[in-house]
Amino acid sequence: MALVNPHGKDKKLMPLMLEGAALEAAKTAAKSMDQVKMSSRETSDLIMMGIGAFTPLTGFMGKADWKSVCEKFVMADGLFFPIPITLSTTKGQANSLKIGQEVALVDEESGEIMGSMTIAEMYDMSEDDKKFECQAVFTTTDAVEHPGAQKVMAQGDVNIAGPVKVFSEGHYPETYKGIYMRPAETRALFEAKGWNTVAAFQTRNPMHRSHEYLAKIAIETLDGCCIHMLLGKLKAGDIPADVRQKAIDTLVDNYFVKDTCVVSGYPMEMRYAGPREALLHALFRQNYGMSHLLVGRDHAGVGDFYGPFDAHHIFDKIPAGALETAPIKIDLSFYCTKCDGMASDKTCPHGKESRLIVSGTKLRKMLSEGEEVPDHFSRPEVLTILRAYYEGLTEKVEIKMHKHAETGGK
Amino acid sequence: MALVNPHGKDKKLMPLMLEGAALEAAKTAAKSMDQVKMSSRETSDLIMMGIGAFTPLTGFMGKADWKSVCEKFVMADGLFFPIPITLSTTKGQANSLKIGQEVALVDEESGEIMGSMTIAEMYDMSEDDKKFECQAVFTTTDAVEHPGAQKVMAQGDVNIAGPVKVFSEGHYPETYKGIYMRPAETRALFEAKGWNTVAAFQTRNPMHRSHEYLAKIAIETLDGCCIHMLLGKLKAGDIPADVRQKAIDTLVDNYFVKDTCVVSGYPMEMRYAGPREALLHALFRQNYGMSHLLVGRDHAGVGDFYGPFDAHHIFDKIPAGALETAPIKIDLSFYCTKCDGMASDKTCPHGKESRLIVSGTKLRKMLSEGEEVPDHFSRPEVLTILRAYYEGLTEKVEIKMHKHAETGGK
């Protein structure tokens, strides 16, 4: 037994980060290059490539890969990949760039040069092309209500593609010290613990009892669980990463066994691509050495764009062997007084009156207005932290509705 | 997706039961044959072959298979089989039998002719041979304390082997109407429910909360669970099958979901072979269409003959592909007041003071003497049935110590 292999036929991690003298030389050279600005999503994708989380990608995707991934979930060479990883710029800038030219890749928010790319291809992304991508990836072109579609529709009108070199992981290693890990690091951690089978519990929210239950079901049957937090950007209304981390650390300290659970994070930004994102979540977990991905209700969903179990079903539709990392599909879970414990529709035969289900909206109302949260819904230590956060929010109007408790928080 | 394949290279069930005119003719012919008496274990093995649960066996094992199974867990032709399935007789009778002769196989308890065997081979089983088998299968030759070894050491001194025809399933279909099922029947049942992945919860005892927890963990991650009761003979002190069935039916009616759980039984007798028996349990579950076997602490154990997790480890030592049915290995589980629910050593970080563990001995004392059983240990509906049984026992001395609650009851 051993950990799952990294994705791709070579079965080894391919981080694109430069180090040492090569890094210094590349950084110096990049200073005099033309600069292409990256959105926060593009920057997060570049870092994912840098640390080997998107192994075996070598850079942003060209048109053939983009189209094939959208249509068929595979790169032009047949490699399974569920979501296009692309970089865009304006027509104006594209006209000034040449194939074969190496450009500096700059994070538009921090202004930091994050890496460089040798341009292999430039291709127009018309309004129709963007809509095609959105329909394929998000099942909608609704750029108002769908935050992922919104970003694609707002992109520049040209995609530029080619192999990248990565210089920096941005603020992540510093901001999330001890939590932020590269795939090589989680693999070393799991090996040190003697784990072969590891479930990823994907989360972008604090964990309540229902989420704890999912993680613990995995722990009962596998060697361990990695509570794997998304550290990249979220949409408005989601709880900030530092509050979430504190809430999760408290939960783990008080209710998990050290030998079977670790907490870690990765630098990707949410796309809210539902089932396709669940597949991407499984793909990069494979690179992180995690053999299983817990997939709850409406995984990586937003609003009502996906059916509650679309992210379960999609795993049955991909070719056998496309991924080594397998889903653990779990139903909506809750505390049931008659069961005297946690359960789901699959294990609890009792009626609604015995099931404790609190919507995300209601929970936030309770927390921000100092109301009591019903027993068994969440751990008291977690509620204390969330209450402090909500009470500290000055602009309560910012708390927009999102489907936290209903969706499993992912 | 589909159910797991039956064991063996042909991947199809091979029941050895005769039916219709062939059965009638064989029964008539058997009346005039020499009779070989079978112990209850041998009878139960014959029925297992009859219904296809031991597919692809064609009869009782010859010497090469017996030896190879004991030494290497495979038949002489390389087929994985973890426990020898043999029939013995006395030297005296063996001297009166001939190779090629067809004999009637008679259950020594009921006197019923259960089938016939064409003798292909007869081989001596010296005291040393029996000890060799016991050491290999039970890891002990202790014929006093180990009920499985006791039976082997008490066998006749000659094994007779050959292909069998099976005429009868004995009292099982009648005694356990609705519960007793052949592999073809459970497979049809699972298919009708649309299940592909099915966990077997092996049990020879009533189920308390810890057993319910194991079954429900499997249900959360698979399509369904079959609570699969051993209906053959147990050792003294084990709870009779009818009481157990009533207790389990009540549990399932009140705490399980009909769509994800079925109760069924099989006609095998316990050998208490621990890890080897766990492998046999997985093998015949594969024939029954069950993709997974829940393996708790001290599975199929007795006394202190096996390490508590030997039955987990043995699945790592068999060749890949030996079995399709996979173990779900689960630690000792209990109710924990701090966890506010069921947990195990792998998921509960709290101390002994918050964990509710009641030994089998203590539980029986509580039940038979009308004491209160602590909350959360068992479902009240189940306790009511067990209390009635223990109160009805006239000879309390018969309640011997066994490791029920400690072992997961298997």
pLDDT digits (tens, 9 = 90+) for B363-382: 988 988 888 999 999 999 99
Q: Which residues contact B339 (CB under 8 A, 6 or more apart)?
A: A255, B347, B348, B350, B354
User: Cβ of B344 under 8 Å from any chain A Cβ?
Assistant: yes
User: Cβ of A277 under 8 Å from any chain B Cβ?
Assistant: no
Residues of B in contact with A347 (CB under 8 A): 216, 219-220, 256-257, 260
pLDDT tens profile B36-55: 999 999 999 999 999 999 99
User: Cβ of A329 under 8 Å from any chain B Cβ?
Assistant: yes
CATH class held by domain A20-169: alpha beta
Q: How far apart are CA A238 and CA A403, in angstroms?
A: 10
Disruptive mutation site among B347, B348, B383 for chain A (greatest number of A CBs within 10 Å): B347
In this prediction the pTM is 0.91
User: Cβ of A320 under 8 Å from any chain B Cβ?
Assistant: no
**Closest CB from B216, B328, B346 relative to A347:** B216
What is the per-residue pLDDT for A212?
A: 97
Q: How far apart are CA A313 and CA A121, in angstroms?
A: 35
Q: How far apart are CA B22 and CA B28, in angstroms?
A: 10
What is the per-residue pLDDT for B396?
A: 47
Residue A120: both structure tokens together: 């292999």
How far away is chain B from the Cα of A251, in angstroms, using its nearest Cα? 11
Q: How far apart are CA B271 and CA B284, in angstroms?
A: 15
Q: What is the mean pLDDT of residues B148-162?
A: 97
Residues forming CATH 3.40.50.620 domain(s) in chain A: 176-266+272-406
Per the residue annotation, which of A41, A204, A355, A364 is the catalytic one? A204
Nearest CA-CA partner of B200 in B276, B299, B298, B270: B299
How far away is chain B from the Cα of A376, in angstroms, using its nearest Cα? 8
B99 neighbors B119 (Cβ within 8 angstroms): yes
User: Cβ of A328 under 8 Å from any chain B Cβ?
Assistant: yes
A244 is catalytic: no
A·B CB contacts under 8 A: 69
Strand order in the sheet with A333-336: A341-344, A333-336, A355-356
Residues of A in contact with B342 (CB under 8 A): 341
Nearest CA-CA partner of A261 in A269, A276, A251, A271: A251
What is the per-residue pLDDT for B275?
A: 97
pLDDT tens profile B299-357: 999 999 999 999 999 999 999 899 999 999 998 899 999 999 999 999 999 999 999 99
Q: How far apart are CA B137 and CA B152, in angstroms?
A: 10
Write down the ipTM of this complex: 0.89
Residues forming CATH 3.10.400.10 domain(s) in chain A: 20-169
Q: What is the four-CA torsion angle of B306, B308, B312, B318, rounded to 10 degrees?
A: -20
Closest residue in chain B to residue A335, using alpha carbons only: B341
One pLDDT digit (tens) per residue for chain A, 410 residues? 799 999 999 999 999 999 999 999 999 999 999 999 999 999 999 999 999 999 999 999 999 999 999 999 999 999 999 999 999 999 999 999 999 999 999 999 999 999 999 999 999 999 999 999 999 999 999 999 999 999 999 999 999 999 999 999 999 999 999 999 999 999 999 999 999 999 999 998 899 999 999 999 999 999 999 999 999 877 777 788 889 999 999 999 999 999 999 999 999 999 999 999 999 999 999 999 999 999 999 999 999 999 999 999 999 999 989 999 999 999 889 999 999 999 999 999 999 999 999 988 889 889 888 889 999 999 999 999 999 998 887 554 444 434 333 334 44
User: Considering chain B, what is the average pLDDT of its residues?
Assistant: 93
Closest residue in chain A to residue B333, using alpha carbons only: A220
According to CATH, the topology of domain A176-266+272-406 is Rossmann fold (3.40.50)
Phi, psi (degrees; rounded to nearest 5) at A144: -95, -50
Residue A52: both structure tokens together: 């080997």
For tokens 């599909």, the residue is: A329
**Alpha-helix runs per DSSP H in A31-169:** 40-50, 63-72, 91-96, 127-138, 147-153
A364 is catalytic: no
